[in-house]
Structure 1
Amino acid sequence: MHSNRRAVLRTALAAAIGASLIGLAPLAAAQQTQNPDAVRVLGEMGKATVITEGKGPRVLDIFFDANCPYCHELYTALRPEVGKGGLQFRWVPVAILTPTSVTKGAAILQAPDRLKAFHDNENTYGKGPTGQGGGITPATKVLPATSAILNANNALLEATKSPGVPTMLYRDKAGHAMLVVGPPDAQQLKEILASVK
């Protein structure tokens, strides 16, 4: 990811975290659109390294940062849907928000069981050493292969032109490539999940 784009994303997302910590509404309301960027990136999602929950033909790709409060909100909202209706959630780890996003993302990716590590991070969100962000203990060393994974996933997120995370990509029942930015409310999430092809 280009350093200026990364700086813009960090600034926006740091502001979003600040807003969440003082109880303000999220800065980015959920937006669902079909666009050429979503079409292109969906075609490249085979290059992403993902953490998969559920099995089935109905795929929802979700870009997340281990320290993102709105990603955690989406994670929590999706718990009752895991394994239902042929839905497969493919969580795409990125590291764009804070310096520990890299080391926490690495801790997840370098774990023997990535899904368990992802769950540990989210289930202990806000309960880590700093009391903020994902709860997983950051990796003390980021392996070159892990850095390459995070960089590749970051590049895919950048290609969507999304202003932040969570960013969801999927095809709807009409075959349109859909992009959703921000945490949807309960009704929006219900509609999104029903529309996944």
Structure 2
Amino acid sequence: MHSTRRAALRMAFVATLGASLIGLAPLAAAQQTQNPDAVKVLGKMGKATVIAEGHGSRVIYIFFDANCPYCHQLYTELRPRVGKDGLEIRWVPVAVLTPTSVTKGAAILQAPDRLKAFHENENTYGKGPTGSGGGIAPASKVLPATSAILNANNALLEATKSPGVPTLLYRDKQGDAMLVVGPPDAQQLKDILASVK
């Protein structure tokens, strides 16, 4: 993706995030589709760096930004479901919303226990030094290997052609590759979880 398109996407993410946080825009409804982009990207997800929760054969990949309020909402709604009925959530960290998305993503990825750091970020969401976004303290230094991980994960998100986060990828019971953009409402989430192969 060209740097100008990437910058435009980031500005759109930030504008949507800012408007939502101050109450000018409602939460977007999730849109679920079966499409060729989902098929291609699902085939490449083995190369993604993920943070796995639960163990099972029913897998959902969720692209998230450490500062994304909708990702945090989805994280909260999934708490009672992780690991149930063979459900495994593979969180895919990206950095697309704000400058601290990179350093907070790095703090998670560079932690000795990535899952614990991810939980810290989400469980203290909005309680960090700035009072908004993920609660983990940003990394003081982003290692080259960490930058490479975030860049690779960002490229996978871009390949889905999704306009934002959270973005969910999974196969349904018919074997179709499904792409869900935006935070699903309670009924949509129930339907998605029931349909995961």
User: When the two structures are superposed, what TM-score results if normalisation uses the length of structure 1?
Assistant: 0.97
Tell me if structure 2 keeps the 8 A contact 1:166–1:181.
yes
Tell me if structure 2 keeps the 8 A contact 1:9–1:97.
no
Asked if residue 54 in structure 1 is aligned to residue 70 in structure 2, the reply is no
Tell me if structure 2 keeps the 8 A contact 1:66–1:95.
yes
Aligned partner of residue 128 in structure 2, secondary structure: coil
Paired amino acid for 1:158: E
Structure-to-structure mapping, 1:4-15, within 5 angstroms: 4-15=4-15
Structure-to-structure mapping, 1:1-197, within 5 angstroms: 1-23=1-23, 24-26=25-27, 28-197=28-197
Give 1:5 shift: 2.7
User: When the two structures are superposed, what TM-score results if normalisation uses the length of structure 2?
Assistant: 0.97
Partner deviation per Cα, 1:138-160 (whole Å, 9 max, x = no partner): 00000000000000000000000
Tell me if structure 2 keeps the 8 A contact 1:41–1:156.
yes
Aligned partner of residue 188 in structure 2, secondary structure: helix
- Please give the alpha-carbon distance, in whole angstroms, between the structure 2 residues aligned to 1:11 and 1:89: 28
Tell me if structure 2 keeps the 8 A contact 1:93–1:105.
yes
State the Cα RMSD in Å.
Answer: 0.9
Structure 2 unmatched ranges of 5 or more: none
Q: Which moved more, 1:174-183 or 1:13-22?
A: 13-22
Runs of 4+ off more than 4 Å: none
Partner deviation per Cα, 1:71-128 (whole Å, 9 max, x = no partner): 0111011011011010000000000110000000000000000000000000111111
- Please give the alpha-carbon distance, in whole angstroms, between the structure 2 residues aligned to 1:6 and 1:81: 34
- What number of residue pairs does the alignment pair up? 196
Paired amino acid for 2:112: P
- Please give the alpha-carbon distance, in whole angstroms, between the structure 1 residues aligned to 2:79 and 2:43: 27
Partner deviation per Cα, 1:164-184 (whole Å, 9 max, x = no partner): 100000000000000000000
Give 1:13 shift: 1.5
